[in-house]
Amino acid sequence: MKTMTFAIAAGLAASLLAGTALAQDKTLNMIVIEGGDTTAMQAVVDAYKADHPGIAINLQSYPFAQFFQVAELRLRSADTGIDLVYVDAPLLASYASRGFLSPIDPAISTGELVPAAVQAGQYDGTQYALPINNSAQVLYFNKALFEAAGITPPAGLTKGETATQAEVDTLASSERWTWEQVADAAQKLTVKDNGRTTTYGFTVEQFGELYQLQPFGESLGSPVIGPDGYTAKGYLDSEAWTKAATFWSDLYNTWAVSPKSLGYGEAASLFGNGQLAMFAGGTWNLPILSATDIDFGVAPYPYFEGGSVVTPTGSWYVGVNAASANQAEAMDFASYLTTSDAGTKAWFDSLQQLPTYKPLLDTISTSADYDAFPQNVFRLGVYDSLNTAVARPVTAAYGQLQDAFRTAFVDIANGVPVADALASAVQKFESAAARVAQ
């Protein structure tokens, strides 16, 4: 009996060693955006490797400005050098419709994820990607600049104060500023010296981007495109979007309260230098601004008077390259990253972006660790993700829509008449979308 037991044990040990040796030959490659996202993903990889020592995961990072083109080219060429891919939510339909992504293993449970986030990872009824995190936009304001101008700032969350989830819910549901209030305050806060603007009243973090500006028109009652995913006529050039685009034009041309053509990260930099009184931006700016000397507050993302409260949402997903030879291993890491306590915590602790993992959202809502500023700002994100967030359009032609939208709103900020810019965007998008639909 002892001999048999020893033999079995020896056999199992040999089998495990062989399996480990084989597993050590497994290296997964994942393309990600460089910077904080790569740092956060490496934290998850390190946590995963502690439990899966036989799997190596190599992160291939690219600058944001290049990432989408690189991902498109490598996926389209069925590059087997990619196993896992960072997927921006609105591009999922384009990737899935062309067979770039494998359907997510149905054995992976998504029951602990925010349902809307799960649905945004589906195309034609099939799950093709899992949500890594969500996003939330807020209104940052410089308290000292408001005081100097003699203006009462918006109700918000500030340093030295605490707020429960219930108190944040009240703030978000009944004390949210309108865009009209933002514009009025911005004009009073803008400072010029000999014709040169030294302090701007307001700007948005992502200049001309659909993600940032979609709530403008939708707050006034019109989606960007129709439900077929290919029609912009009657939507992007509607009365609602014309009004929204006119407001956008006024910020730059009539009131001159916003700086033109800001690059990514420049709004937070201007704000941190005291040259910007307010900006609409993501919660990912909290660590950056907390490291400055600026005494700032955070208010809910605004809406148009008489309109609906609509806020940006959606963020990064993880998908498995259909051409990967390591499907099972890639699926396992994707599940760990998005549906495990350890994986989601490692990501959140590193990047501080709103989770889609409900146990983490519950922690944010209930733990005393999130009572104080700036951690309680995430409770604004919890409220909006459950009550006001509207996802970007699901269309296989999203890239074409984003390009047409960006061109139009950059042109409008630079003085092109609203009607002309929107008409051009409609024509540009529908022509490009027709080719995608073929």
Tens digit of each residue's pLDDT (9 = 90 or more) over 240-258? 999 999 999 999 999 999 9
160 C-beta neighbours (distance < 10 Å), count: 7
Tens digit of each residue's pLDDT (9 = 90 or more) over 296-318? 999 999 999 999 999 999 999 99
- 330: closest CA among 72, 131, 134, 129? 129
**What's 285's DSSP letter?**
G
Alpha helices in 92-209 (DSSP H): 92-97, 115-119, 143-149, 165-174, 179-189
CA distance 412 to 397: 23
Q: Do 318 and 113 touch, CB atoms closer than 8 A?
A: no
Q: Do 190 and 257 touch, CB atoms closer than 8 A?
A: yes
- 375: closest CA among 360, 356, 389, 390? 360
Any residues with CB less than 8 A from the CB of 349 and at least 6 apart, and which? Answer: 43
**What's 206's DSSP letter?**
S
CA distance 119 to 230: 20
CA distances for 313 relative to 25, 117, 432, angstroms: 39, 9, 25
Identify the helix (H) or strand (E) that includes residue 25.
none
CA distance 206 to 286: 16
CA distance 353 to 355: 6
- The pLDDT assigned to 84 comes to 98
Averaged over 407-436, what is the pLDDT? 97
The pTM of this model reads 0.87
Provide the pLDDT confidence category of residue 24 given band limits of 50, 70 and 90: low
Angle at 128 between CA 122 and CA 130, to 5 degrees: 85
Tens digit of each residue's pLDDT (9 = 90 or more) over 107-157? 999 999 998 899 899 999 999 999 999 999 999 999 999 999 999 999 999
> Six-digit token pair at 171?
């703030």
Structural domains in the chain plus CATH codes: 26-134+314-356 (3.40.190.10), 137-313+394-437 (3.40.190.10)
**What's 201's DSSP letter?**
S
Averaged over 84-91, what is the pLDDT? 94
> Six-digit token pair at 343?
């994986």
**HSE-up of residue 97 (Cα within 13 Å, Cβ side):** 15
CA 434 to centroid of chain Cα atoms: 28
- 258: closest CA among 420, 267, 92? 267
Any residues with CB less than 8 A from the CB of 348 and at least 6 apart, and which? Answer: 133, 355, 360
